[in-house]
Structure 1
Amino acid sequence: MTAAARTDPHKPEPEPDAPVPMGDYAAARLVGDLVFTAGMTPRAGGVMLTASVLGAGLDIADAAELAGVAAGRAVEAGRAVAEAAGRRLESAVSMTVYLAAAPGFSEHSRVADGATARLRAVLPGPPPARAAVGVAGLPSGAPVEVALVLSSTAVPTGDVVG
């Protein structure tokens, strides 16, 4: 964290489980009632869980599990920003799942289902609108990256956030 961030009383400290950006961007932003997250990759303790490409060494079940990890990290980033503003997450509105895919790979939706399953486990409401996009490569060799738009609501006075 920069010295400016440590001394800015309006910038909350990151939650222990909240993802830390790997570059010069915000992990999530609250705009009105919506929380927009940056793309999250499947990391644990800041370390990429695997670097691979779909259709060239990574099977669909493993990729779906990694998509779930990335989606969980995106929810945590969104939750940290919402809670710092006295809000709670309501539901996932939209999700984009980016997949590092070899030419000819066509099971994008099956992999993205892993991210949707994770959202269903941690957030109420129907599944989000979703896009699954194949790309040539992702940061740090990640096989998947997930970005979310989440709805939030103000926590009534006296309620506990979380």
Structure 2
Amino acid sequence: MGTWTERLTRLGIELPEVVTPVAAYAPAVRTGAHVYTAGQLPIVDGKLAVTGKVGDAVSPEDAQRHARTCTLNALAAVHGLVGVDSIVRVVKVVGFVASAPEFHGQPAVINGASELLGEVFGEAGQHARSAVGVAELPMGAPVEVEMIVEVA
């Protein structure tokens, strides 16, 4: 199969630079055999890609794509700390969706994260998950993703 880096290359996926924290925290922290990422926003080239609530200013389909971007940023944080090739499996994903009133499609939005992890890691990408609707996210982001991975 090769390494995860080779798999990313075959899929045409390039990890971005680690996003600079917007407050007083680390992008990722290792304890024992696990790396915990901070919540990652859909930041592209140092800028928030979109603002607004899902089900209002942001469509669920666009939010799903932004959840994928958040997940790439989380993988970049892991890579910056220990290298993506040290990942043994994805353990847990938590997704937050800034939701318009009456929007109930949070699980479908966070599928953007889960499906990417399945593409990249196959069976090792199957994870436990929470998809939570919230009133607001930092900087007006529509979605935020954090994850826990087991590493060698």
Question: Which TM-score tier does this pair reach, normalised by the shorter chain?
Answer: 0.7 to 0.9
Work out which of the two has the higher radius of gyration on C-alpha atoms and give 1 or 2.
1
Q: Which residues of structure 2 form unaligned runs of 5+?
A: 1-14
Q: Which residues of structure 1 form unaligned runs of 5+?
A: 1-14, 154-162
Q: What RMSD, in angstroms, separates the aligned Cα atoms of the two structures?
A: 1.8
Q: Deviations over 1:25-59 (max 9, x none)?
A: 00000000100000000011110000010111211
Q: Distance in 2 between matches of 1:106 and 1:98?
A: 12
TM-score (norm. length: structure 2): 0.84
Distance apart, 1:123 and its partner CA: 2.7
Query: Matches of residues 111-150 of structure 1 in structure 2 within 5 Å?
Result: 111-124=109-122, 125-150=124-149
Choose between structure 1 and 2: higher helix proportion. 2
TM-score (norm. length: structure 1): 0.79
Q: Distance in 2 between matches of 1:16 and 1:56?
A: 28
Q: How many pairs does the alignment contain? A: 137
Q: Distance in 1 between matches of 2:34 and 2:136?
A: 28
Deviation above 6 Å: which 4+ runs of structure 1?
Answer: none
Contact 2:18–2:73, Cα closer than 8 Å, also in 1: yes
Distance apart, 1:16 and its partner CA: 7.2
SS at match of 2:83: helix
Which segment is superposed worse, 127-136 or 75-84? 75-84
Distance 1:16-1:132 versus aligned 2 partners, 3 A rule? closer
